[in-house]
Amino acid sequence: MSETPHGFDTLQIHAGARPDPATGARQTPIYQNTAYVFRDAEHAAALFNLQEVGYIYSRLTNPTVSALQERVATLEGGVGAVATSSGHAAQIMALFPLMRPGDNIVASTRLYGGTVTQFSHTIKRFGWSATFVDCDDLAAVEAAADANTKAIFAESIANPGGYVHDIPALAEVAGRLGVPLIIDNTSATPWLCRPFDQGATLVVHSTTKYLSGNGTSVGGIIVDSGRFDWTAAGKFPSLSEPEAAYHGLKFHETFGPMAYTFHGIAVGLRDLGMTMAPMNAFQTLLGIETLSLRMERHVANAVKVAEWLERDPRVTRVTYAGLPSSPYNDRAQRLYPKGAGALFTFAVKGGYDACVRLVDAVEIFSHVANLGDTRSLIIHSASTTHRQLTPEQQKAAGADPDAVRLSIGIEDADDLIRDLDQALAKATG
């Protein structure tokens, strides 16, 4: 495309996509194949030595997946991206180049339930650990770090508690500590928040949610801002020191701002194999074409439904940063001016039991463990997604036992309100 910078609405359709060189096909084809013919033995050797960029084998690179990587990197304002098999895979892949056994991250207490579990239990098997802190207490974030801390991890719009993180403030702390700030931008999407513009180093997504948008495809992606100096303080030897598996190549020296992305593909995908399938990349590309249109409707509907719930006497509280009653409303307006997302929780008179009755009584809302679908979704986090957490962790994450979480879809807002009205009548009657 030309040098004039294009708007988001144009880039979400065109970035990373070009007519297929073989056929002229306008939509990005699904390259449903495993391997690519080398021009000759010399070409093959150059590809394997990372002296030339090209396609070898679809665990590493695939043209459909590459189109998605380029599109998301462009929308986030990053230099490169690595697509993965799921959002959880993206989190492991994001940490992998940074961490060695004995290293740790400082993570927000307000995270997706599965992430809390992944960080509190599973990463320990790699010798990594996470220290969870309340990210409103910046002094505590800084104090939680030690010489082996390799990243700060938080979500832009946190799920499920109606909380938004102050990314510029966290970026300042990360800068003082000399570590990257990783932002999970799943719930905001680059339409509502571009973490790199606010000082973040890396972005991860579960593309399963708003990016694919239709509830069809599990996937994830890691995007690099290209701005971090991986040689600083000798903290990140995987990126700055010779890589034995590539004849002593140093990623930072060889690839400059693309070091982290190339490491993600050439070492991460090669050896961990958490690769996105071409069909899922295709579905995700299709979804992204309408991202801004959907997000506008998601947010407008969320505001309408949240305002209606807040006025309802059967509801004891609504935690949505898009409402003036939220303690995070000022921060949301300052840092997320297009809206505070479409996920929030509300508490029902009658507590845990009423919540369970409510999720059984809805008709348009679907009771599922997902978010970011065109369809409106409901879940009682405390008995499902956040069930493995301790009561303290549930509370910190905003998954209180008397609250249900809504992921507001793009249907007619009045229909959503009528559905909640009849379900609340059954749940509290």
Ligand X SMILES: *Cc1c(COP(=O)(O)O)cnc(C)c1O
Interface ranges with ligand X (CB under 6 A): 86-88, 112, 114-115, 155, 159, 184, 186-187, 206, 208-209, 218, 220, 371
Q: Which is nearer to ligand X, 112 or 246 (CB)?
A: 112
Return the closest-CA partner of residue 331 out of 210, 93, 182, 157. 157
Q: Which is nearer to ligand X, 219 or 350 (CB)?
A: 219
Least separation in angstroms between CB 312 and ligand X: 27
Q: Which is nearer to ligand X, 113 or 350 (CB)?
A: 113
Q: Is the peptide bond before 160 cis (omega within 30 degrees of 0)?
A: yes
CB 278 within 8 A of CB 58: yes
Nearest residue to ligand X, scored by beta-carbon proximity = 87
Least separation in angstroms between CB 256 and ligand X: 29
Least separation in angstroms between CB 354 and ligand X: 25
CB 217 within 8 A of CB 186: no
Q: Which is nearer to ligand X, 42 or 134 (CB)?
A: 134
CB 132 within 8 A of CB 394: no
Least separation in angstroms between CB 219 and ligand X: 6
Q: Which is nearer to ligand X, 108 or 115 (CB)?
A: 115
Least separation in angstroms between CB 351 and ligand X: 25
374, two tokens: 């065109």
> What is the residue whose two structure tokens read 């809390």?
116
User: How far is the C-alpha of 96 from the C-alpha of 86, rounded, in Å?
Assistant: 15
Q: Catalogue the long-range contacts made by 135-141 (C-beta closer than 8 Å, 24 or more residues apart).
A: 135/108, 135/109, 135/110, 135/165, 135/166, 135/170, 136/166, 138/169, 138/170, 138/172, 138/173, 141/106, 141/170, 141/173
- Centre a 10 Å sphere on the Cβ of residue 35 and count the other Cβ atoms it contains: 10
Burial of 13 (0-12, 13-18, 19+ CB in 10 A): middle
Within 2-157, residue ranges assigned H as helices are: 8-14, 41-48, 63-76, 87-95, 113-120, 138-144
Q: Which is nearer to ligand X, 93 or 98 (CB)?
A: 93
Least separation in angstroms between CB 385 and ligand X: 9
Least separation in angstroms between CB 403 and ligand X: 17
Q: Which is nearer to ligand X, 97 or 220 (CB)?
A: 220
Q: Which is nearer to ligand X, 71 or 252 (CB)?
A: 71
- SS3 breakdown of the chain: % helix, strand, coil, rounded to 5? 45, 15, 40
Least separation in angstroms between CB 288 and ligand X: 15
SS3 410: coil
Largest CA distance in the chain: 75
